[in-house]
């Protein structure tokens, strides 16, 4: 600093950086709900070249960057997130969820390994590699193939034999890592979808399995409330997983087999579309915002 002519910069006003990637309805709905709770929000598009710098000017951060960014050609958002996680932690800027949760968002294999090592039930993994490196002889059928960094059930299929596996692999993009898992049979014909808020089960739903063998909003699955009747064991598994992966917010897809509840998908970022409030019967982005707002006021209170 020039001591004769010091330039005093006003300290930047405290702000909560909402890290986003794809201008989804849910990102803006979440931000509006935060504003309604008097949280000073700064939207940061993680595709911006200066995204990391912009995020570091914030007091606290919350990530809405999903695994599916890569499928939209937004790999840069992931690279920026990984860079930011390192420096934000060193700078003492808290993130909801934590950076380690983001690493699970972008690799299903990582989640399977962590949960499996802790004794939770997870599917057997037959392979995790780019399509041209997957040896069909290492697979057992039926199995499921999906991008390791995926989402929205894109490029996901049930494979019933060698011929189907070969056809899928030949047509698959070569720049994508796929994970191949044993196909788990749901004992009652639905996938259990659990929304986590504040590390606890906030909403549980039965999501129907479509004729293609998949269960997803994107294949037209239907939803049914399951909060009251979901077994305690299933809730416990989800809350243990949330603690292990550091998910304050997020969701799990669970397949309740004849043997036990298996966690098949770990999402550190839950996306909902505009019709979801009606479809699901609750306002998830408002609940996320209420949770993050409480974390914000706790953090800025500590700073005073």
Ligand X SMILES: Nc1ncnc2c1ncn2[C@@H]1O[C@H](COP(=O)(O)OP(=O)(O)O)[C@@H](O)[C@H]1O
Q: Which residues bind ligand X (CB under 6 A)?
A: 123, 144, 146, 150-153, 156, 181, 183-184, 191, 209, 214-216, 253, 255, 264-265
Residues 6+ apart with CB under 8 A from 303: 14, 59
Least distance to ligand X from the beta carbon of 56, Å?
A: 30
Least distance to ligand X from the beta carbon of 233, Å?
A: 19
When the beta carbons of 142 and 199 are compared against ligand X, the nearer one is: 142
181 in contact with Mg ion (CB under 5 A) = no
Q: Give, in order, the Cα–Cα distances in Å from 8 to each of 11, 57, 59, 152, 303.
A: 9, 17, 20, 49, 21
Q: Provide Rg for the chain, Cα atoms.
A: 21
Residue among 129, 63, 53, 128 nearest 91 (CA): 53
When the beta carbons of 61 and 144 are compared against ligand X, the nearer one is: 144
User: Out of 265, 269, 285, 295, which residue is the one contacting Mg ion (CB under 5 A)?
Assistant: 265
Question: What residue number has its CB nearest to Mg ion?
Answer: 265
Question: Distance from CA of residue 227 to its chain's centroid?
Answer: 21
Least distance to ligand X from the beta carbon of 281, Å?
A: 20
DSSP per residue, 160-203:
-SHHHHHHHHHHS-TT-EEEEEEPPPPTTSEEEEEEEETTEEEE
User: Out of 182, 253, 277, 283, which residue is the one contacting Mg ion (CB under 5 A)?
Assistant: 253
Q: If contact means CB under 5 to 8 A according to the sort of partner, which of Mg ion, ligand X, none does residue 70 touch?
A: none
Q: Which stretch binds Mg ion (CB under 5 A): 176-184, 203-211, 253-261, 291-299?
A: 253-261
Least distance to ligand X from the beta carbon of 154, Å?
A: 6
Beta strands in the chain (DSSP E): 16-20, 41-45, 60-63, 95-96, 125-130, 143-147, 157-159, 177-182, 190-197, 200-208, 223-225, 249-256, 261-267
Q: Which stretch binds Mg ion (CB under 5 A): 100-108, 117-125, 264-272, 275-283?
A: 264-272
45 in contact with Mg ion (CB under 5 A) = no
Q: Give, in order, the Cα–Cα distances in Å from 233 to each of 133, 191, 256.
A: 38, 15, 10
When the beta carbons of 121 and 243 are compared against ligand X, the nearer one is: 121
Least distance to ligand X from the beta carbon of 3, Å?
A: 56
Least distance to ligand X from the beta carbon of 210, Å?
A: 8
Q: Which two tokens stand for residue 73?
A: 């050609």
What is the chain's length?
304
105 in contact with Mg ion (CB under 5 A) = no
Least distance to ligand X from the beta carbon of 179, Å?
A: 8
Q: If contact means CB under 5 to 8 A according to the sort of partner, which of ligand X, Mg ion, none does residue 191 touch?
A: ligand X
Residues 6+ apart with CB under 8 A from 270: 195, 249, 250, 251, 284, 288
Question: What residue number has its CB nearest to ligand X?
Answer: 265
Using the Cα atoms of residue 172, residue 20, residue 26 and residue 104 in order, give the sign of their dihedral: positive
When the beta carbons of 26 and 153 are compared against ligand X, the nearer one is: 153
Site of interaction with Mg ion (CB under 5 A): 253, 265
């Amino acid at each position: 600093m020039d001591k004769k002519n010091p330039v005093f910069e006003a300290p930047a006003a405290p702000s909560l950086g909402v890290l986003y990637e794809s201008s989804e309805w849910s990102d803006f709905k979440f931000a509006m709900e935060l504003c309604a709770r008097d949280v000073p929000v700064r939207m940061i598009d993680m595709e911006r070249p200066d995204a990391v710098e912009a995020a570091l000017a914030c007091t606290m951060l919350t990530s809405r960057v999903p695994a599916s960014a890569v499928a939209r050609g937004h790999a840069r958002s992931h690279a920026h997130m990984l860079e930011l996680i390192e420096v934000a932690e060193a700078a003492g800027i808290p993130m909801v969820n934590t950076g380690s949760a983001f690493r699970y968002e972008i690799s299903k294999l990582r989640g399977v390994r962590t949960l499996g090592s802790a004794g939770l039930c997870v599917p057997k993994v037959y392979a995790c590699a780019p399509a041209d490196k997957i040896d069909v002889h290492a697979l057992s059928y039926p199995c499921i193939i999906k991008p390791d960094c995926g989402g929205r059930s894109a490029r996901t299929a049930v494979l019933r034999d060698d011929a189907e596996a070969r056809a899928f692999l030949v047509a698959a993009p070569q720049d994508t890592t796929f994970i191949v898992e044993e196909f788990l049979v749901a004992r009652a014909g639905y996938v259990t979808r659990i929304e986590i808020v504040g590390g606890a089960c906030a909403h549980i739903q039965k999501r129907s399995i479509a004729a293609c063998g998949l269960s997803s909003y994107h294949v037209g699955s239907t939803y049914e409330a399951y909060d009251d009747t979901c077994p305690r064991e299933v809730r416990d598994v989800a809350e243990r997983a949330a603690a292990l992966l550091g998910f304050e917010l997020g969701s799990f897809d669970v397949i309740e087999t004849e043997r036990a509840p298996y966690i098949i998908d770990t999402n550190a970022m839950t996306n909902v579309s505009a019709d979801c409030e009606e479809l699901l019967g609750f306002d998830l982005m408002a609940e996320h915002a209420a949770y993050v707002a409480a974390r914000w006021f706790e953090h800025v209170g500590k700073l005073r």
